Amino acid sequence: AHEFGHVLGLQHTTAAKALMSAFYTFRYPLSLSPDDRRGIQHLYGQPWPTVTSRTPALGPQAGIDTNEIAPLEPDAPPDACEASFDAVSTIRGELFFFKAGFVWRLRGGQLQPGYPALASRHWQGLPSPVDAAFEDAQGHIWFFQELGFPPSTGRDESLEHCRCQGLHK
């Protein structure tokens, strides 16, 4: 978690129990200190307010035109034989290939029925393209785009070296 703080652009702090303390000790359950929250909000802004109540929406009435738009059919998935994939990852013991908002799912070397499918079928709101994905030891799935660093942190020379060597997209 401490290293993810660095990836998000946070620096070390002198606050003793902060996640970003130079001498951070992992504690479970993980919690952010007020200092960590202030640092993130300084970089990315205050959280958006949560909607606590919602007025029920009125449905269309007979004889009244509406501006409803029919959902679009998704584009056809790319041809797996002609595609270079955006990312490939093993998630919960299965192999997932990501390309242009679609995912291929292989179990035991076999493409599963119903695939390729929209990645949003599994992960709602997943942006495209996915440049990297992994499952951590706790079973959380992480997705990355580009270098994963906010613009304020600049570029890391080691990552630039990897890009030049063809090791990173």
Range list of H helices, 17-156: 34-44
Q: Are 98 and 109 in contact (CB under 8 A)?
A: no
pTM flag (> 0.85): no
102: CB partners within 8 A, 6+ apart = 77, 78, 116, 117, 118, 119
Residue 164 in this model has a pLDDT that exceeds 50: no
Q: Are 33 and 18 in contact (CB under 8 A)?
A: yes
Domains of the chain: 1-46 (no CATH), 77-169 (2.110.10.10)
The residues that are catalytic are 3
Which two tokens mark 58? Answer: 């009125």
pLDDT band, very low/low/confident/very high, at 71 (cuts 50, 70, 90): very low
pLDDT band, very low/low/confident/very high, at 130 (cuts 50, 70, 90): confident
Which two tokens mark 125? Answer: 């709101």
- The mean pLDDT of 34-46, rounded to a whole number, is 83
Among all chains, which residue has been given the structure tokens 């606050």? 15
Concatenating the DSSP letter of every residue in 125-154 gives T--S---EEEE-TTS-EEEE-TT---GGG-
Q: Are 98 and 87 in contact (CB under 8 A)?
A: yes
